[in-house]
């Protein structure tokens, strides 16, 4: 385990062993989620201050990750369900940023489309991302210095480099509104546009895997929703940016993201951004 050093001047580079340890830790957290998922009497659903749901599964996964991640790489952890004060986290150069269960509504609707998001941050930028789906034990991970892969560490397959043709598949949630200026821009540029509903951060995983082309987001999200996916998409030639093309800013006091567009191929941004 690395010593805890919040003032290092260069970004950490995780080893293959550490990435395998992240996968095993995610499996432990995922098993805890599934134990509750399969026993509705344990759900204990509450509403947070922003009126979004939180379950016992969110909290149990958070406890496991907050305890376990510093044993893999020793730096502080910011979790959606265990958020340190801004005064404290503003001092951290390197930290884990975690959504212990992205897709709580998918959990409650029993779709299985929920994931664990784990990002390693350096100077408020995601340098490594890891997504894990408990219902399949499948993971997606990577970053610019790591490459990008999916499957399991023992049976990893490289994620494809970005490539888009004139048939564009847009991904969104089951509550998405599929009409908008972004769609008109694509059609006017000669693209055929189709849509598909996918839950949680699996939308980003599908982009990275070549199973979709863009994810237009016009609703509220937080930094832990996009950090891990951004690191992975950065490694495959994709991107997550604001609608004016500017980058997502991390390390904010309120942790809230602006509306954004995620693409598997950066060439689409020339058509999509305002």
What is the domain extent for residue 247? 167-272
pLDDT tens-digit readout, 77-106: 999 999 999 999 999 999 999 999 999 989
> Which candidate, 96, 105, 86, 127, places its Cα nearest to that of 201?
105
Greatest CA separation found in the chain? 54
Write the CATH number for 101: 3.30.540.10
Is 101 part of a structural domain of the chain? yes
Calculate the alpha carbon distances from 24 to 21, 28, 141 in Å: 5, 6, 13
Please give the average per-residue pLDDT across 65-81, as a whole number: 97
With cut-offs at 50, 70 and 90, classify the pLDDT of residue 123. Answer: very high
Is 4 part of a structural domain of the chain? no
Same domain flag for 26 and 134: yes
pLDDT of 219 higher than 70 = yes
Is 11 part of a structural domain of the chain? no
Same domain flag for 40 and 173: no
Q: 3-class secondary structure for 101-155?
A: EECHHHHHCCCCCCEEEEEEEECCEEEEEEEEECCCCEEEEEECCCEEEEEECCE
pLDDT tens-digit readout, 146-201: 999 999 999 999 999 877 788 999 999 876 667 788 999 999 999 999 999 999 99
SS3 47: strand
Say how far apart CA 65 and CA 69 lie, in whole Å: 6
Q: What percent of the chain has pLDDT over 90?
A: 81
| Residue count (the chain) | 274
Is 8 part of a structural domain of the chain? no
Task: Considering only residues 248 and 53, tell me which one the structure prediction assigns the higher pLDDT.
Answer: 248
Same domain flag for 33 and 154: yes
Tokens of 44: 């204990």
Domain total for the chain? Answer: 2
Task: Considering only residues 131 and 10, tell me which one the structure prediction assigns the higher pLDDT.
Answer: 131
Please give the average per-residue pLDDT across 208-217, as a whole number: 95
What single string gives the DSSP state of each residue in 217-253? E-S--BHHHHHHHHHHHHHHT-EEEETTSPBPP-S-S
Is 134 part of a structural domain of the chain? yes
Same domain flag for 52 and 103: yes
Write the CATH number for 213: 3.40.190.80
User: Where does a domain end: 158, 191, 223?
Assistant: 158
* Residue 273: predicted pLDDT: 87
Is 7 part of a structural domain of the chain? no
């Amino acid at each position: 385990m690395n010593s805890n050093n919040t003032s290092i001047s260069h970004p950490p580079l995780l080893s293959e062993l550490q990435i395998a340890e992240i996968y095993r830790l995610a499996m432990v957290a995922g098993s805890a989620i599934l134990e509750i998922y399969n026993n509705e009497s344990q759900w204990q659903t509450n509403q947070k201050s922003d009126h979004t749901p939180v379950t016992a599964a969110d909290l149990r996964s958070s406890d496991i990750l907050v305890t376990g991640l510093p044993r893999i790489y020793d730096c502080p952890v910011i979790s959606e369900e265990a958020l340190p004060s801004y005064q404290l986290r503003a001092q951290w150069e390197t930290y884990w940023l975690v959504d212990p269960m992205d897709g709580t509504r998918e959990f409650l609707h029993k779709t299985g489309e929920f994931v664990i998001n784990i990002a390693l941050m350096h100077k408020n930028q995601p340098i490594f991302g890891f997504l894990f789906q408990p219902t399949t034990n499948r993971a997606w991970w990577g970053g610019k210095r790591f490459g990008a892969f999916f499957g399991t560490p023992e049976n990893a397959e490289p994620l494809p480099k970005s490539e888009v043709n004139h048939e564009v598949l847009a991904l969104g949630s089951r509550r998405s509104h599929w009409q908008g200026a972004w769609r008109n821009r694509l059609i006017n540029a000669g693209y055929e546009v189709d849509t598909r509903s996918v839950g949680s951060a699996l939308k980003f995983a599908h982009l990275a895997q070549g199973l979709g082309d863009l994810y237009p987001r016009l609703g509220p999200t937080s930094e832990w929703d996009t950090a891990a996916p951004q690191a992975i998409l950065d490694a495959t030639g994709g991107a997550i940016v604001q609608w004016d093309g500017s980058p997502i800013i991390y390390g904010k006091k309120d942790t809230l993201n602006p509306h954004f567009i995620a693409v598997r191929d950066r060439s689409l941004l020339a058509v999509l951004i305002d």
